[in-house]
Amino acid sequence: MPARPNGAEGWIRSSDVVLSSIGTHVEIDVGQRKLRAYRGSQLLAETSVVVGKNSTQTPRGHFFVTDYEKKRRGTAYGPWILPLSAYSQALDEFDGGVPVIAMHGTNRPDLLGSAASNGCIRMPDDVIQLLRDNLPQGTPVDIRD
For the annotated catalytic residues, the residue numbers are: 104, 120
**Distance, CA of 94 to chain centre:** 16
Q: Which of 10, 13, 114, 6 is nearest to 64 (CA)?
A: 6
If 0-12 CB within 10 Å is exposed, 13-18 middle and 19+ buried, where does residue 13 land?
Answer: exposed
Q: Are strands 140-144 and 61-64 parallel, antiparallel or unpaired?
A: antiparallel
Taking the CA atoms of the chain, what radius of gyration do you get in angstroms? 15
* Nearest partner of 142 among 26, 9, 51, 3, judged by Cα: 26
Separation of alpha carbons 96 and 82, rounded Å:
18
